[in-house]
Structure 1
Amino acid sequence: RLLVGNGLTPPARHLVWLAPFSPKEKKGLWTKSVHQQLTKSDTVEKLFNQYFKQGKNFDLLARLQYLDLKTYLGDFGLTKTNHASNLSSLEIRTPFLTPKLAEFLFSLPSSYKLKGLTTKYLLKQSVKDLLPKEIINRPKKGFGAPIAEWINKDLKTSVDQKLNKNRLKKQGIFNPQTIQKILQEHRNRKKNNRMKIWSLFMFQLWYDNFS
């Protein structure tokens, strides 16, 4: 993904890093008629450019953080965490996202947040006398879901039904051969295509509800 984003603008490069499909992969994803319509106006890239421009008074790292705050964090990270925690009768709190603290952190130079390869530098420095070193220096633990296993096991039947070749052909949006290849690569453990398949699966669920 780093190589794919080489030569692109910062917001376009950031989008390539976050998106499950690269621009090249998208060309083979859609049917020809749908691809021609979509390439006329890439609304996601426009949205990323819009938020990147809004952060023009920040340095590059802060502008990308602002972009994440306006897109990825609210539309994906917090939403997913909230739904998952509610299903387990848990209430998640996000103290680092209180408006005053967020505004203060955006006013600081990025060198306070990233120092060399050390991330969360300011946070680690502020609690170094309060927490053990093994806690401060341990690797980041994300809030990931076992999507790869769901696709191959628990949700296998549902995924196969929604991404069935005949269904896709009748729908006329996606290239059935491309989708089947993505599925087989994942099932045969040649590639971990979990986010590609999950995105396609979620689209089909949305399509069934709102088309």
Structure 2
Amino acid sequence: LPQRLRRARVGDKIHKAASVFSLRSMSDVYRRLCSHWEEPAEIIPKAVEPPTMLTGLEPLPALSGNVEQMMYLDMMSYLPDDILVKVDRAAMAVSLETRVPLLDHRLIGFALSLPLSILRAENKTKWPLRQLLFKHVPRELVERPKMGFGVPIDAWLRGALRDWAEALLDERRLREDGLFRPETIRRAWSEHLSGQRNNQYLLWDVLMFQSWREAQQRCSTAAAA
């Protein structure tokens, strides 16, 4: 494919897209797309996901379409439980006070009052915001590919963090702990190291828990001594 049409990790994206075809509702699709491990029991024996908005804890409001429903779920779950909490943790870790002006309640109320035909006019996302920016910012700074803030966890796990991760994902250790399914974790780790799949997020979830648990055990040992 020409360079302009190439995308990173196409295989992983195709696998993820294929996994939603059998789902029955848009809320199920949203949950699948936002999940790392598809089912808790995949990695923890007999595990069941606690009830949340995404698993039917409360009825969703009657909205006009699938896009509006996913926007609502984003605003009520992904935004406060992921994006904003990460900003808060990172900022407060270095004693910074952060503000998110685009979340002013008056602006949110106005945005929610706009139909999709305005929000996505001319087949452009965030159309009203783009028109406003064009009055104050050079167009080339607005009309360019989205740039995220992701870190190269996939490369780190195959490189500088490989020994650290291997120790936390050691099969004997996993079996002795009795929390995770060792065969599932080890398979994901093997696929990642071989380059067959990019399992960075699947593995990072487990690694963060294992690292936290190790720290708790050290504190308990120190307290007992």
Query: Matches of residues 8-157 of structure 1 in structure 2 within 5 Å?
Result: 8=23, 9-23=25-39, 28-30=42-44, 34-35=45-46, 37-38=47-48, 42-43=49-50, 46-50=52-56, 53-57=59-63, 59-85=65-91, 92-115=98-121, 117-157=123-163
| 1:92/1:153 CA distance change after superposition, 3 Å | farther
- Partner Cα distance (2:116, 2:188) in 1: 39
Q: Which amino acid aligns with 2:117?
A: S
- Partner Cα distance (2:62, 2:161) in 1: 44
CA shift for structure 1 position 114:
2.6
- Partner Cα distance (1:115, 1:140) in 2: 18
Q: Gapped runs of 5+ residues in structure 2?
A: 1-15, 218-225
Other structure's SS at 1:14 match: helix
Aligned residues: 201
Q: 1:197 aligns with which of 190, 203, 209?
A: 203
Q: Whose radius of gyration is greater, 1 or 2?
A: 2
User: Runs ≥4 in structure 1, deviation > 6 angstroms?
Assistant: none
- Partner Cα distance (2:121, 2:21) in 1: 23
Q: Which residue in 1 is equivalent to 2:179?
A: 173
What percentage of aligned pairs have identical amino acids?
28
Q: Is the 1:62–1:106 contact (alpha carbons within 8 Å) kept by the matching residues of 2?
A: no
TM-score (norm 2): 0.75
| 1:135/1:154 CA distance change after superposition, 3 Å | same
| 1:120/1:52 CA distance change after superposition, 3 Å | farther
CA deviation string 1:157-187 (max 9, x = no partner):
3322222111211122322122112112212
| 1:53/1:132 CA distance change after superposition, 3 Å | farther
- Partner Cα distance (1:149, 1:162) in 2: 17
Other structure's SS at 2:134 match: coil
CA deviation string 1:94-119 (max 9, x = no partner):
21111221122112212222346522
- Partner Cα distance (2:160, 2:194) in 1: 17
| 1:74/1:150 CA distance change after superposition, 3 Å | farther
Other structure's SS at 1:63 match: helix
- Partner Cα distance (1:92, 1:111) in 2: 32
Q: Is the 1:52–1:64 contact (alpha carbons within 8 Å) kept by the matching residues of 2?
A: no
TM-score (norm 1): 0.80
Other structure's SS at 2:166 match: helix
Other structure's SS at 1:192 match: coil
